């Protein structure tokens, strides 16, 4: 299995404190890797560094051939290839408040992939239906339950068809039944050939659904 | 305590100084009333001396004490009791006589036209000024004459708040003629060294200066009339006018008429003011001007404000510093000053029409405030929303257009509506550069009917009719945009 994501000795510092020190991991296509560890150990920081939302100090990140180097985050114009490869689902979902669920998903289809509105809406509706939120396409983000908002958020991240999907604490606000359903959904995404890196402190969820677990311990 | 009480008693026993407090506008300048160049805390002018003569004539060691009041507010202030007698080129009009206690006329003036020398051969009166811009001081008989001439001969009246700029604008070509009292015209010509314009010999109308008192002071007015008659008889009034170089034959004739037994203290040949109802179309026109100035200024403020805010949020260090300097200078200086600078200050470089200057000044001023609203709104959009947009692959410009801008607009809407309502009212300031808008027209109306009650209420209704629907629209938009 070829590695989709390779992290090599990643180090992130805030002021003088190491948040991450020498993190190395790989995620292959079709693989679900759980990134585990207690709160504050740097799980979110690792995901943000992979999504080029924050700089890192040492090491290297390579996503499907696209390499990120230590130092400041490059301008967006130089991250176009990375953006097409990586999707991120935020813990707080971060749906665009001024757009309906459907428009949250069509945004990247229309303005990044350049699809016309009808085609974008067909694709977005299909994605929402696959995630069991097709009926909520016309709803505003604030009208959605936590579980619905999470699935719309997954649909939005999947819209540009990224090979690697990062998810930050997806089980934090879910009841056990929803957790199982989410696990099944993520397995389906892996079967489509995507790699998934999921941060969680839910050991049970990790054991049940992840192919591998990478544990972080405080620096 | 006892000492204080004793002091009060002593003070109470002393007779109060007998003072005739009179109001005038030193901004009107010489020869009426001006700050004394030798001692600017004192005033001088023929009206100052007339007031002193009246005070002396009333007896009891009375002396005159000057109170500064804006010329257009003299009637209202005297009725309020701010001072007893209003002087300084106060014109005799039937409306003033109906509302207040007015003295007999003590000076006769001619409403004269001033034109550029090149036009002197073909302009002989208002009839020759069809379609031409004729300047004057607002709220005067001259302004009424121009309003009448607008309807009859098609002149375009331009109202000023002072009597200096009309002549400057005549020379520079902004207006084609000025209609004002001969004293003011002659003074303006002297200041320009006798060149730049000529004063036509044939007067357009004859008017008189009077003193004005509160309606309840009719008895005191009669005493003042007696003093004025005495001053005409004993030559002291003539001496005053001669000292200030404003004496001419027509004053002698006026004195004769006034002193003739049985002659009513009525102005001969005073221009008839326009009837109160005749102002309603003018008010409607002025309301349209207010709305137009406000809407165009706001449009300019929004566009420039957006550019400034973008500069502050996204710009390089140089752009950020430049936009910050602009915003601080504009917010830190009075709008009135900016209006003057754009209209009069830039006149040497570019002679902007008054309306355009008004829109520019208001628009550029409000742009600074809008910029700060937009900057605040842009910065209020949660960072996570921008990061989510970034992970989708949207460019910075797309993020601004599709995510940050629309969300910021919701935050900005309420303060923007506030600003527009404020601008609607601030637009009243543009009257200082000759744009007659709603408040100015109301002031003219009020001066001519001698009361603020009806014009003020009408004006308020029109402003509310413009601002209330706007607030409702904003509330409706806010509700619609607020996702449940």
Substitution target in B392, B477, B482 with the highest count of A β-carbons within 10 Å is B392
The pLDDT value recorded for residue B14 is: 45
This complex has an ipTM of 0.94
Query: What residue in B sits closest to A54 (Cα-Cα)?
Result: B387
Distances (CA, A) of A89 to A105, A157, B219: 13, 6, 88
Substitution target in A76, A79, A86 with the highest count of B β-carbons within 10 Å is A76
pLDDT at B292 over 90: yes
pLDDT at B5 over 60: no
Q: Between chains, do B385 and A83 touch, taking CB under 8 Å as contact? A: no
Nearest Cα to Cα of residue B436 among B216, B326, B281? B281
**Residue-wise pLDDT tens digits, A8-27:** 999 999 888 888 888 999 99
Distances (CA, A) of B41 to A36, A47, A103, A145: 83, 75, 71, 75
For residues B139-152, average pLDDT:
88
Distances (CA, A) of B70 to B25, B76, B217, B277: 5, 10, 21, 26
Cα–Cα distance measured from residue B350 to residue B339, given in angstroms and rounded to the nearest whole number: 14
Total number of residues shown for chain B:
484
The pLDDT value recorded for residue B1 is: 44
List the single range of A77-81, A173-177, B418-422 with lowest mean pLDDT.
A173-177
3-state secondary structure of A178: helix
- Work out the minimum CA distance from B324 to partner chain A, whole angstroms: 25
Q: Between chains, do A96 and B388 touch, taking CB under 8 Å as contact? A: yes
pLDDT at B9 over 70: no
The pLDDT value recorded for residue B472 is: 86
Distances (CA, A) of B410 to A98, A135, B302, B468: 9, 27, 15, 20
CB-based contact, A35 to chain B, within 8 Å: no
**Residue-wise pLDDT tens digits, A129-144:** 988 899 999 999 999 9
Q: How confident is the model at residue B295 (pLDDT cuts 50, 70, 90)?
A: very high
Query: What residue in B sits closest to A92 (Cα-Cα)?
Result: B384
For residues B133-149, average pLDDT:
88
CB-based contact, B318 to chain A, within 8 Å: no
- The residues near A38 (Cβ < 8 Å, ≥ 6 apart) are A201, A218
Interstrand relation of A212-215 and B19-24 (parallel, antiparallel or unpaired): unpaired
Mean pLDDT of chain B: 86
3-state secondary structure of B62: coil
Please name every residue paired with B40 in a beta bridge, in sequence order, or none if there are none. none
CB-based contact, A139 to chain B, within 8 Å: no
Q: How confident is the model at residue B267 (pLDDT cuts 50, 70, 90)?
A: very low
pLDDT at A32 over 90: yes
Which residues in chain B are contacts of A98 at CB distance < 8 A?
A: 403, 406-407, 410, 481, 483
Nearest to A111 among B382, B402, B484 (CB): B402
Which residues in chain B are contacts of A80 at CB distance < 8 A?
A: 393
Q: How confident is the model at residue B449 (pLDDT cuts 50, 70, 90)?
A: low
The pLDDT value recorded for residue A148 is: 92
Query: What residue in A sits closest to B395 (Cα-Cα)?
Result: A76
Which residues in chain A are contacts of B402 at CB distance < 8 A?
A: 107, 111
Chain B, window 80-119: residues with a beta carbon less than 8 angstroms from a chain A beta carbon: none
Which phi and psi (to 5°) does residue A58 adopt?
Answer: -145, 165
- The residues near B219 (Cβ < 8 Å, ≥ 6 apart) are none
Q: How confident is the model at residue B268 (pLDDT cuts 50, 70, 90)?
A: very low
List the single range of B287-291, B324-328, B387-391, B441-445 with lowest mean pLDDT.
B441-445
pLDDT at B272 over 50: no
CB-based contact, A111 to chain B, within 8 Å: yes
Q: Between chains, do A143 and B393 touch, taking CB under 8 Å as contact? A: no
**Residue-wise pLDDT tens digits, B453-462:** 888 888 999 9
Inter-residue contact B22 to B87 (CB < 8 Å): yes
Q: Between chains, do A83 and B406 touch, taking CB under 8 Å as contact? A: no
Nearest to A108 among B382, B392, B484 (CB): B392
The pLDDT value recorded for residue B152 is: 87
| DSSP-H helix ranges across A15-78 | 43-50
Q: How confident is the model at residue B478 (pLDDT cuts 50, 70, 90)?
A: confident
Query: What residue in B sits closest to A88 (Cα-Cα)?
Result: B391
Q: How confident is the model at residue B112 (pLDDT cuts 50, 70, 90)?
A: very high
For residues B259-284, average pLDDT:
60
**Residue-wise pLDDT tens digits, A178-214:** 888 889 989 999 999 999 999 998 888 999 999 999 9
**Residue-wise pLDDT tens digits, B244-258:** 999 999 999 999 998
The pLDDT value recorded for residue B2 is: 47
Better pLDDT: A10 or B165: A10
Nearest to A108 among B384, B393, B407 (CB): B393
The pLDDT value recorded for residue B72 is: 80
- Work out the minimum CA distance from B384 to partner chain A, whole angstroms: 6
Which residues in chain A are contacts of B389 at CB distance < 8 A?
A: 96, 107
């Amino acid at each position: 299995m070829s590695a989709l994501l390779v992290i090599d000795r990643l180090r992130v510092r805030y002021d003088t404190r190491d948040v991450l020190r020498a993190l190395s991991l790989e995620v292959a296509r079709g693989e679900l890797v759980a990134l585990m560890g207690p709160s504050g150990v740097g799980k979110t920081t690792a995901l943000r560094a992979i999504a080029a939302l924050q700089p890192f100090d040492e090491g290297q990140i390579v996503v499907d051939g696209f390499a990120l180097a230590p130092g400041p985050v490059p301008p967006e114009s130089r991250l176009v290839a990375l953006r097409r490869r990586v999707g991120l689902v935020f813990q707080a979902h971060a749906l665009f408040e001024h757009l309906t669920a459907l428009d949250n998903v069509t945004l990247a289809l229309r303005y990044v992939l350049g699809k016309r509105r009808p085609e974008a809406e067909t694709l977005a509706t299909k994605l929402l239906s696959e995630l069991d939120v097709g009926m909520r396409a016309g709803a505003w983000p604030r009208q959605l339950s936590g579980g619905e908002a999470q699935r719309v958020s997954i649909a939005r991240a999947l819209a540009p068809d990224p090979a690697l999907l990062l998810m930050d604490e997806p089980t934090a606000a879910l009841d056990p039944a929803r957790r199982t359903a989410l696990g099944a959904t993520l397995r389906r995404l892996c079967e489509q050939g995507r790699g998934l890196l999921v941060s969680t402190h839910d050991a049970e969820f990790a054991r049940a659904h992840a192919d591998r677990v990478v544990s972080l311990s405080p620096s | 305590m006892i000492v204080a009480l004793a002091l009060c008693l002593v003070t109470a026993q002393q007779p109060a100084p007998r003072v005739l407090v009179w109001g005038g506008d030193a901004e009107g300048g010489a020869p009426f009333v001006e700050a004394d160049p030798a001692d600017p805390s004192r005033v001088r002018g023929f009206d100052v001396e007339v007031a002193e003569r009246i005070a002396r004539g009333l007896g009891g060691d009375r002396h005159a004490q000057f109170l500064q009041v804006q010329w257009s507010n003299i009637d209202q202030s005297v009725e309020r009791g701010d001072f007893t007698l209003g002087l300084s080129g106060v014109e005799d009009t039937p409306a003033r006589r109906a509302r207040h206690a007015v003295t007999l006329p003590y000076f006769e003036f001619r409403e004269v036209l001033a034109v550029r020398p090149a036009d002197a051969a073909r302009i002989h009166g208002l009839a020759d000024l069809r379609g031409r811009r004729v300047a004057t001081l607002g709220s005067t008989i001259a302004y009424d004459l121009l309003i009448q001439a607008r309807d009859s001969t098609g002149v375009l009246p331009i109202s000023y708040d002072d009597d200096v700029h009309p002549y400057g604008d005549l020379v520079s070509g902004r207006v084609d003629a000025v209609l004002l009292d001969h004293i003011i015209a002659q003074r303006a010509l002297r200041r320009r060294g006798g060149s730049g314009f000529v004063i036509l010999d044939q007067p357009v109308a004859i008017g008189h200066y009077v003193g004005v008192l509160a309606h309840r002071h009719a008895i005191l007015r009669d005493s003042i009339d007696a003093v004025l008659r005495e001053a005409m008889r004993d030559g002291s009034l003539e001496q005053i006018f001669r000292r200030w170089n404003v004496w001419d034959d027509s004053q002698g004739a006026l004195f004769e008429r006034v002193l003739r037994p049985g002659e009513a203290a009525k102005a001969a040949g005073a221009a008839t003011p326009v009837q109160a109802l005749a102002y309603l179309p003018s008010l409607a026109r002025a309301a349209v001007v207010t709305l137009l100035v406000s809407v165009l200024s706001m449009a300019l403020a929004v566009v420039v404000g957006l550019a400034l805010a973008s500069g502050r949020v996204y710009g390089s260090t140089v752009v950020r510093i430049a936009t910050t300097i602009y915003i601080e200078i504009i917010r830190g200086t009075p709008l009135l000053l900016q209006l003057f600078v754009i209209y009069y200050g830039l006149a040497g470089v570019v002679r902007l029409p008054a309306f355009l200057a008004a829109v520019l000044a208001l628009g550029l001023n409000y742009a600074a405030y809008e910029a700060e609203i937009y900057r605040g709104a842009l910065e209020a959009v949660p960072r996570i929303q921008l990061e989510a947009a970034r992970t989708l692959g949207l460019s910075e410009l797309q993020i601004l257009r599709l995510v940050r801008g629309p969300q910021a607009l919701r935050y900005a809407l309420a303060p923007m509506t506030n600003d527009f309502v404020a601008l609607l009212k601030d637009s009243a300031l543009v009257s200082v550069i000759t744009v007659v808008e709603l408040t100015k027209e109301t002031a003219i109306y009020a001066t001519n009917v001698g009361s603020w009650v009806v014009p003020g209420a009408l004006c308020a209704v029109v402003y509310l009719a413009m601002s209330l629907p706007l607030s409702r629209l904003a509330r409706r938009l806010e509700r619609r945009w607020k996702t449940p």
